[in-house]
Amino acid sequence: MYDSYMNEVAVSEARNRLAEVIEEARRSGEPVSVTRRGRRIAVILDSEAFDRLVDIADDVEDRRALQAARADDDYVPWDEVKAALGLV
């Protein structure tokens, strides 16, 4: 059926064995590429791994926004924010 490590599956095979493909991604923590005619068209990923990737992407976007704000001199320093909120 499947190898113990499955990293790629054709759409037709994924359709026929979706529960098994999802379980393999969940169990191994490794993404499973879904392919059509040899090209990856989707990825099945464990929900915890997805959440980690979203968190990382959010952090990267926040850092970019901060850099842009600093470049535009459009930000409030953290010390001022803490003081304004009474956290100092």
- pLDDT tens-place string over residues 33-51: 999 999 999 999 999 999 9
Written in H, E and C, the secondary structure of 14-78 is HHHCHHHHHHHHHHHCCCEEEEECCEEEEEECCHHHHHHHHHHHHHHHHHHHHHHHHHCCCCCCH
pLDDT at 75: 74
* pLDDT classification of 70: cutoffs 50, 70, 90: confident
Least confident of 12-26, 35-49, 58-72: 58-72
Average pLDDT of 57-64? Answer: 94
Express as a percent the part of the chain with pLDDT over 90: 70
User: Structural domain boundaries of the chain?
Assistant: 8-45, 48-84
